[in-house]
């Protein structure tokens, strides 16, 4: 492999780096071209230049898209940080006028948080920042931290335990858990008891596919267990499944209350003590220098606090 020196750096430009970032994130040349205002041939040419500079294929075709090589995966974080630094430099000394802005805000969050904040946030943006857009992504914990650090997302909504060096966590609210079951569930009376809870089938939400969660730890602590029938990556699909079956879902309280109305679910108190968590905003440590992101973070916080 050739040594990367200043001669190679001079051959780079921001368009090449933005193409690289887009392909890591989306995996499709057409989508990246549309996002950056480039033709697909221009994107292909940019990839060719990147390959020559880094002396690696970087992206190989897989089906309808492209897949990063191991070298590209290794480069993703440092290139993401470099792009984030340039974006930050461009914002230095600038104010933010939401009514005239055309900023795209990129957010990582679980679908339960998205469901809780999106209705208020949509109305807020329409009234106060009509030219701005929001892109939501659902990522695992490790991927969320990496995306915040490398600037792939502007902020993340999640548990405060996501904080790592280089990030700042802003606590928003305390959250607990409720149990959702279909209306008129034949095994549940006015109150869900522990024996019934353990006997029923459960839908577990786990983006990573892990078949064990905090409920299982809490049950094990009192010598009990449950039967997980299905593991799903998102709360919306899990709650929908519960509304059409006898399985139950233990989920964040706000998601249960808001989505429960949509899917005709009855919401019950858990029949055992479950640890709550702090819902927080995670940003890069230098995000305080970005007035637009500070404004948007306040809007997200207000949307989440807007009732149950």
Read off the CATH number of the domain in which 258 is found.
3.40.190.10
Asked whether residue 109 falls in the same domain as residue 72, the answer is no
Q: Answer yes or no: do 152 and 123 share one domain.
A: yes
When divided into structural domains, the chain yields a total of: 3
In a domain, 29, yes or no: yes
Please tell me whether residues 183 and 261 are part of one structural domain.
yes
62, 209: one domain? no
pLDDT at 5 over 70: no
Which of the four pLDDT bands, split at 50, 70 and 90, describes residue 152?
A: confident
What are the Cα distances from residue 8, in Å, to 5, 53, 73? 6, 6, 19
What CA–CA distance (Å, rounded) separates 183 from 230? 20
Strands (E), the chain: 59-62, 65-68, 104-109, 133-137, 155-159, 167-175, 177-182, 201-205, 227-232, 248-252, 265-268, 277-284
Within a domain: residue 99? no
Residues linked to residue 174 through DSSP beta bridges, in sequence order: 278
Examine the domain organization and report whether 183 and 58 are in the same domain.
Answer: no
If asked whether residues 125 and 170 sit together in one domain, one would say: yes
Q: Please state, for a pLDDT cut of 70, what percent of the chain lies above it.
A: 94
Does 137 lie in the same domain as 80?
no
pLDDT digits (tens, 9 = 90+) for 13-59: 888 999 998 899 888 898 898 888 888 889 999 999 999 888 899 99
| Stretch 168-172: mean pLDDT | 88
- pTM: predicted TM-score of the whole model, two decimal places: 0.66
81, 151 Cβ separation under 8 angstroms: yes
Q: Domain containing 138: what range?
A: 104-174+278-304
CA distances to 132, 264, 269 from 184, in Å? 43, 10, 16
Q: Are 40 and 169 members of one domain?
A: no
Confidence of residue 1 (pLDDT cuts 50, 70, 90): very low
Q: Are 146 and 112 members of one domain?
A: yes
pLDDT one-digit tens code per residue, 212-254:
999 999 999 999 999 999 999 889 999 999 999 999 999 999 8
pLDDT of res. 4: 52
Q: What is the DSSP letter of 184?
A: T
- DSSP label at 285? G
pLDDT tens digits for 76-128? 888 888 887 787 676 665 678 899 998 899 999 988 888 888 888 999 999 99
Contact present, 247 and 229 (Cβ < 8 Å): yes
Residues 79 and 168 in one domain: no
- If asked whether residues 87 and 130 sit together in one domain, one would say no
Are 20 and 54 in the same domain? yes
């Amino acid at each position: 492999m050739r040594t990367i020196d200043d001669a190679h750096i001079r051959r780079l430009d921001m368009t090449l780096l933005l193409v690289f970032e887009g392909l890591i994130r989306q995996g499709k040349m057409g989508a990246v071209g549309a996002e950056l205002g480039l033709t697909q041939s221009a994107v292909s040419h940019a990839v060719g230049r990147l390959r020559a500079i880094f002396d690696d294929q970087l992206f190989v075709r897989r089906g309808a898209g492209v897949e990063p090589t191991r070298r590209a995966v290794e480069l993703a974080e440092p290139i993401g940080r470099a792009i984030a630094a340039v974006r930050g430099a461009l914002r230095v000394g600038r104010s933010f006028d939401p009514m005239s802005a055309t900023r795209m805000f990129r957010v990582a969050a679980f679908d339960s948080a998205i469901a809780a904040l999106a209705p208020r946030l949509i109305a807020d943006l329409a009234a106060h920042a009509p030219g701005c857009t929001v892109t939501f992504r659902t990522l695992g914990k490790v991927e969320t931290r990496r995306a915040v650090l490398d600037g792939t997302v502007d902020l993340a909504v999640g548990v405060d335990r996501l904080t790592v060096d280089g990030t700042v966590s802003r606590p928003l609210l305390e959250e607990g858990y409720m149990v959702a079951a279909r209306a008129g569930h034949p095994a549940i009376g006015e109150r869900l008891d522990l024996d019934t809870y353990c006997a029923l089938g459960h839908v577990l939400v786990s983006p990573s596919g892990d078949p064990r969660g905090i409920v299982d730890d809490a049950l094990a602590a009192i010598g009990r267990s449950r039967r997980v029938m299905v593991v799903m990556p998102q709360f919306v699909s899990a709650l929908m499944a519960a509304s059409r079956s006898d399985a139950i879902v233990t989920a964040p309280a706000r998601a249960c209350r808001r989505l429960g109305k949509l899917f005709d679910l009855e919401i019950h108190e858990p029949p055992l003590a479950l640890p709550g968590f702090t819902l927080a905003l995670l940003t890069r440590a230098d995000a305080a220098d970005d007035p637009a992101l500070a404004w948007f973070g306040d809007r997200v916080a207000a949307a989440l606090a807007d009732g149950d």
